[in-house]
Structure 1
Amino acid sequence: MWSFAILLWELATREVPFADQSPMEIGMKIALEGLRISIKPGISPHLSKLMKICMNEDPGKRPKFDMVVPILDKMKR
């Protein structure tokens, strides 16, 4: 689910997250420091909230895809 949030961020910003770091640096910072991407201004509040929920530090609190699909359906209306 965390990776899905990253994908949403990439689609919304059209940028590469952590572009200034090597894959090893990113992996270590995620594991050791809980590295997260910042939600940029201008991203839909609904999409921002979904990304934050999907990146919850506690993986057990992240939604399942069957919970995300209805949220996405509401967003496209």
Structure 2
Amino acid sequence: MKFVEWMDELPFVVKVIFCLPLLDITWAIYRIVKGAELKNNGLLIVGILWIVLGWNILWIIDIVTTTAMGKPILTDAL
């Protein structure tokens, strides 16, 4: 899907910006779309939970893992 490819090809700085509070929803949507594309229920559930809990604390996990590994944690198939 084009959204997943677009997110994968973003520059590092933009990926980090998308990890900030309120913008982190883009990574949650990415997880949901990628989970649906791969027919992976685990990734789909993680994406939905990220929308519910991401505004509170999970954005910190995303920013740390994006800085360390180049992309947020739990964006690959589970």
* TM over 0.5, shorter chain: no
TM-score by length of 1: 0.38
TM-score by length of 2: 0.37
More helix, by proportion: 2
Of structures 1 and 2, the one with the larger relative CO (CA 8 A, separation 6+) is 1
Q: Which has the larger radius of gyration?
A: 1
